[in-house]
Chains A and B, each alone.
Chain A
C-alpha cells in the first residue's frame, strides 16, 4: 500500500474523532479565556475586555471590588441550601418513580420534565407573578431566590438519580435479603452506597445550576445581588477582572469533585466485580 493510500485510510478512520475533539476544544476556548483574564491587569482601560498586562494581583486580592464578596457569599449560601433541599426531595422522588408503582406516575414524569423544557424567562416571570399576586412583591429576596432555585434544580436531581437507580443490578439487594438483612439494613448497606455516586453527581449539578443562574434569579431577587447579577451589573461600567478568579476557582473545584466522584465509582465497580 502506498503511503498516500495509507494516509487517506488513516484520515478516513480518524476524521470524525478528530473533528469531535476539535468541537471539544472549541467548547473550552472561552474557559481558557476566563483563566487568562484572571491574570489580566486592566488598569489602563476598564471598558475594554482585552488582555492588557500580566498580574498576580487579581488572585492576591480576589475580593477587592466593592460588593463582590457579599455577592459571592450570598450565591454560595443559596447554592448550598438549594442543593441540600433539592437533593433530598429529588432523591426521594427518584426512588418513588423507579421503585414504586402508583397512580399518576406519567403525570409526575411530565411535570418533572417540563421545567427542563421551559424558557427560564417564562418560569422566572411566572414565579414573580405568583409572589406579587400573593402580596410578597415587597419581600422578594433570599427566600424567594431559594424557592426558585430548589424548583429548577429538582428536575435535574430526579433525572440524574433515576438514571443511576435504573442502572442498578437489583440482584445485589435480593442477595442481601437472602442473607437475612432486613429492609433497613439492605437499604443503608447496599442500595444507598450504590446510588451515592448518582446523588453526589446530582448535588454537584444542582450547586452549579444554582450558583450560575441569572435569568430567574434576577426577576425574583428584590434588592439582593447574587454573583451572576454582580457580573451582569458590572458589565455596564467595565467588569472587574477578579470575577474571572472566582470563575476559574469554581471550575477547578468542580472538576476536582467530578474526578473524585468518578474514581470512587470506579473503585466501587471494581470491588463489586471482584
Chain B
C-alpha cells in the first residue's frame, strides 16, 4: 500500500454526506443479537434468582417450589452460613491486597522499564490463562507440599510460626490445607486481572510529571506516592474490583487447597444447588453475596473518588 498522506486530506468530508434513512438503524441491528443474548441469559436470570430466593423452603426439585415471598430465607441463609460469607470477604480481601502489591510491581515494570519488551511481557501476563485454571491450582498442591522446599524454607525463616501466629496456618508447620494456601491460590489465580488495568492506567501517565517531581527535589519514593500512585488510582480501583469480585465467589481454591474449615460461600451455594437441591436457600445466599459485593463496591468507588469505570 502506498502512503496515504497525500490523499486523505484532499476531501475528508466526502463520505460524511447525510446517511440514507435505513443507515440510522444499522447500529441497532448490529448490537441487537448480542444485546438480546445478554438480556435473556444474563439480566433476566437475575430476576429468576431473586424470585427463587423467595420460594417456599419446603419445596423440592421434584415437587416444585411455590413462590411465597418467603423473606425468612434470607435470615436463615445468613444465619446458617455467616461464617462462610465472612470468610469469603476476608480471604478475597487479603488476596486482593497481595495482588495489588505484587501486581503493581509488575505493571510498573512493564509500563516504565520494559522498553521494547513491553508487548512480550504483556502477552506473558495473560499466558497462564492458556493452561487450565484447575490444573494450575492443583500445581500449588505440589509447590506447597509438606516435604517440599517451600515449606522447608518457610520453616527456616520462621514464616510458618508467623503465619500460625496470625491464624493463617495451624500449629503443625504445614502450608497445604490451610487458609494461607487458599489465599495464596486466590492471589495467584486472579493476579492478571489486577496487572492489566494497573498497566493500562500507568501507561497513560505523562512521564514528564514524574520527572518534574524529581526536578523539584522529591525523592523517588516521595515522587511515587505524591505523583505516580495518585495518577494510577483509576487502575487501582478497576484492578482491585476485578480481583476481589471473582475471588469472593470462587470455591475451587478453597476446595483444592483448603480443608473443611476453609469453605467459602461459593462452596455452600454450589452444594446447595447441585447436591442438596435447596434452591430457596441457595438463591438467597447467592443474592446476599451479590448484595454484599455491590454494597462494598459502591462504598469503595465513592471513597476512592473514581466513578467512571465503565
Q: Mark B39-80, 1 if CB is under 8 A from A, else 0.
A: 101111110110110000000010000000000000000000
Question: Contacts A215-B252, A231-B135, A243-B135 known; A178 to B14 CB distance under 8 Å?
Answer: yes
Q: Tell me the B222-267 residues at the A interface (CB within 8 Å).
A: 241-242, 245-246, 248-252, 255-256, 265-266
Task: Find residues 92-129 in chain B having any chain A CB closer than 8 Å to their own CB.
Answer: 102-103, 105-106, 108-110, 112-114, 119, 121, 123-125, 127-129
> Quick one: which of A114-167 are within 8 Å of B by CB?
114-123, 125-130, 132-133, 137, 147-148, 150-151, 154-155, 158
B43 touches A172 (CB 8 A): no
For residue B170, give the distance in angstroms from its CB to the closest CB of chain A. Answer: 20
Q: Flag the segment in B152-160, B161-169, B205-213, B268-276 that touches A.
A: B268-276
Residues on B with C-beta less than 8 A from A111 are: 35, 38-39, 42-43
Residue of B nearest to A48 (CB): B145
Which residues of chain A come closer than 8 Å to B108, judged between CB atoms? 16, 20
| Chain A interface residues (CB < 8 Å from chain B) | 14, 16-17, 19-21, 23-24, 26-31, 33-34, 37, 49-51, 89-90, 92-93, 95-97, 99-102, 108-123, 125-130, 132-133, 137, 147-148, 150-151, 154-155, 158, 171-172, 174-175, 177-179, 205, 208-209, 211-212, 214-215, 218-219, 227-228, 231-232, 235, 239, 243-244, 246-248, 250-251, 254-255, 258, 262, 271-272, 274
Q: Closest B residue to A111 by CB, please name it.
A: B38
Query: Which residues of chain B are within 8 angstroms of A137 by Cβ–Cβ distance?
Result: 61
Given contacts A125-B283, A126-B49, A177-B14, 7 further A-B pairs with CB under 8 A are A16-B108, A16-B109, A24-B121, A34-B139, A129-B48, A151-B42, A255-B127
Q: Is the CB of B135 within 8 A of A121?
A: no
Q: B134 is contacted by which of A147, A175, A228 (Cβ under 8 Å)?
A: A228
> Across the two chains, which residue of chain A brings its CB closest to B31?
A96
The listed residue with most B CB atoms (<10 A of its CB), out of A126, A132, A133, A255, is A126
B130 and A208 within 8 A (CB): yes
The total of Cβ contacts below 8 Å across the A-B interface reads 279
Number of residues on chain B facing chain A (CB within 8 A) = 93
Q: Which positions 10-44 of chain B face chain A at CB distance < 8 Å?
A: 10-12, 14-15, 26-28, 30-31, 33-35, 37-39, 41-44
**Residues A16 and B38 in contact, CB atoms below 8 Å apart:** no
From known contacts A23-B102, A258-B123, infer whether A93 and B31 are also in contact, taking CB-CB under 8 Å.
yes
Question: What is the minimal beta-carbon distance from A116 to any residue of chain B, in angstroms?
Answer: 7
Min CB–CB distance A244 → chain B (angstroms): 6
Assess the B289–A154 pair: CB atoms within 8 A: no
Q: A23-B102, A125-B269, A132-B52 are in contact. Are A151 and B279 (CB under 8 A)?
A: no
Q: Is the interface of A mostly helix, strand, loop or mixed?
A: helix
- Which 3 A-B pairs give the minimum distances between C-beta atoms? A20-B109, A119-B249, A100-B27
In the complex, what distance in Å separates the CA atom of A272 from the CA atom of B51?
55
Please report the C-alpha to C-alpha distance between residue A133 and residue B84 in the assembled complex, in whole angstroms: 27
Q: Which single member of A100, A177, A235 contacts B26 (CB below 8 Å)?
A: A100
| Contact between chains at A31 and B41 (CB < 8 Å) | no
Q: Are B252 and A239 in contact (CB under 8 A)?
A: no
The distance from the CB of A88 to the nearest CB of chain B, in whole angstroms, is: 8
Q: List 27 A-B contacts (CB under 8 A).
A: A16-B109, A23-B102, A27-B191, A28-B124, A31-B127, A93-B35, A109-B310, A110-B310, A111-B38, A114-B42, A115-B38, A117-B245, A118-B245, A119-B250, A119-B293, A120-B249, A121-B289, A122-B286, A150-B37, A151-B42, A155-B38, A171-B4, A179-B7, A218-B270, A232-B255, A254-B127, A258-B130
Chain A residues closer than 8 Å to B269, beta-carbon distance: 121, 125
